[in-house]
């Protein structure tokens, strides 16, 4: 199937080759796809099909594809093709090219699309005890809901996910909590959570700008999913009350917790403000330290006081 795209894209779970390398005259980092464009439909359907029950109430605001009109962008595309060919020769003819979602803020994704991945993206996982190694983490293209939960809404309440083309080569299983930063041997090229049915891909920092090619940015709104994230899941997700801001929550918790527990939360909160941990990691830590019952009481009391 021929389409005006720079890279392969996903259609109904399959990889289809895009042979045309022509794009519009837009020289920015991304090109806005029109809704009547087939490529728009393919990426949109890929995203919504992974949103599960939240798909019906999720609105796709825009789909943008990375532009290869700039000289540096053309060089990155050419380099990616070279590395894919090299991976084929290394692994008996199969480069194992897949697509995965990357979660980040609007500013982070814009920076990645313009300049590539950096150590700041890797550092996000260094303190995450639930990560599969220390590298750049992606979720399988059918797991857009899980990726969206990890995301962060911008000032307009819009979230953004980055779809990337990944050269996986031969993967090795990385256990939860591992601090591995490189392949365990020259036999392997990337990490996964499960060899038979991988949902998570880990590209090591030494290969992040060789094996990763940003493809499309999907911007969307999902009120029901955002409500679940605000509450942190479980009972908190069902609480129909105003969201308590983190500064207010810190102030209230300081009056309710002993010093050791409060210090744990404050340390995580400071790391969150510095961009070292994600929003969901901060919420998870608060739930672990404080407990859902107390957090729920705080939300209810805050609602009643407004």
User: Model confidence over 77-98: pLDDT tens digits?
Assistant: 999 999 999 999 999 999 999 9
Segment among 80-89, 147-156, 201-210, 294-303 with least mean pLDDT: 294-303
Domain harbouring 172, CATH code: 3.90.228.10
* Helix H or strand E encompassing 218: strand 212-221
Q: Which of 13-22, 126-135, 164-173 has the highest mean pLDDT?
A: 164-173
d(CA 36, CA 214): 22
Same domain, 188 and 258: no
In a domain, 21, yes or no: no
Range 194-209 average pLDDT: 95
In a domain, 237, yes or no: no
What's this model's pTM, rounded to 2 decimal places? 0.70
Same domain, 114 and 46: yes
In a domain, 4, yes or no: no
Place of tokens 């109904």: 12
Same domain, 217 and 263: no
- Predicted confidence band at 240 (pLDDT cuts at 50, 70, 90)? very low
Q: Which residues pair with 59 in a beta bridge?
A: 221
3-state helix, strand, coil in the chain (%, to 5): 40, 20, 40
Predicted confidence (pLDDT) at residue 236 exceeds the cutoff of 80: no
Instruction: State the total domains in the chain.
Output: 2
d(CA 213, CA 73): 10
Range 47-56 average pLDDT: 92
Range 283-300 average pLDDT: 75
- Predicted confidence band at 256 (pLDDT cuts at 50, 70, 90)? confident
User: What is the reported pLDDT for 302?
Assistant: 64
Same domain, 226 and 252: no
In a domain, 142, yes or no: yes
Predicted confidence (pLDDT) at residue 295 exceeds the cutoff of 50: yes
User: What is the reported pLDDT for 228?
Assistant: 53
User: What is the reported pLDDT for 86?
Assistant: 97
Q: How far apart are the first and last CA of the chain?
A: 57
Boundary-marking domain end, from 231, 254, 280:
231
Same domain, 108 and 224: yes
d(CA 94, CA 100): 18
User: Could you give the count of Cα atoms lying within 13 Å of 301 in the half-sphere of its Cβ?
Assistant: 10
> Domain limits at 145?
30-231
Same domain, 153 and 257: no
In a domain, 76, yes or no: yes
Same domain, 106 and 173: yes
Same domain, 265 and 151: no
Q: Tell the burial category of 151 from Cβ atoms under 10 Å away from its Cβ (0-12, 13-18, 19+).
A: buried
User: What is the reported pLDDT for 38?
Assistant: 93
């Amino acid at each position: 199937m021929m389409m005006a795209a720079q890279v392969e894209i996903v259609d109904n779970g399959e990889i289809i080759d895009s042979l045309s390398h022509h794009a519009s005259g837009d020289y920015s980092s991304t090109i806005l796809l029109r809704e009547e464009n087939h490529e728009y439909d393919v990426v949109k359907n890929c995203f919504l099909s992974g949103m599960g029950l939240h798909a019906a109430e999720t609105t796709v605001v825009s789909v943008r594809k990375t532009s290869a009109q700039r000289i540096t962008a053309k060089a990155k595309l050419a380099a990616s093709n070279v590395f894919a060919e090299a991976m084929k020769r290394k692994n008996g003819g199969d480069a194992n090219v897949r697509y995965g979602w990357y979660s980040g803020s609007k500013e982070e994704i814009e920076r990645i699309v313009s300049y590539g991945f950096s150590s700041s993206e890797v550092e996000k996982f260094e303190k995450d005890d639930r990560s599969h190694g220390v590298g750049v983490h992606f979720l399988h293209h059918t797991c857009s809901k899980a990726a969206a939960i990890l995301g962060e809404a911008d000032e307009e309440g819009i979230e953004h996910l980055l779809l990337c083309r990944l050269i996986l080569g031969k993967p090795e299983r990385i256990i939860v909590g591992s601090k591995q930063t490189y392949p365990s041997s020259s036999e392997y090229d990337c990490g996964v959570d499960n060899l038979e049915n991988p949902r998570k891909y880990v590209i090591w920092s030494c290969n992040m700008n060789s094996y990763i090619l940003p493809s499309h940015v999907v911007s969307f709104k999902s009120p029901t999913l955002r409500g679940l994230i605000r509450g942190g899941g479980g009972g908190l997700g069902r609480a129909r009350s105003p969201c308590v801001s983190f500064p207010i929550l810190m102030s209230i918790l300081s009056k309710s917790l002993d010093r050791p527990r409060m210090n744990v939360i404050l340390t995580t909160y400071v790391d969150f403000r510095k961009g070292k941990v994600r929003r969901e990691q901060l919420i998870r830590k608060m739930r672990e330290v404080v407990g859902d019952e107390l957090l729920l009481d705080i939300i209810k009391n805050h609602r009643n006081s407004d």
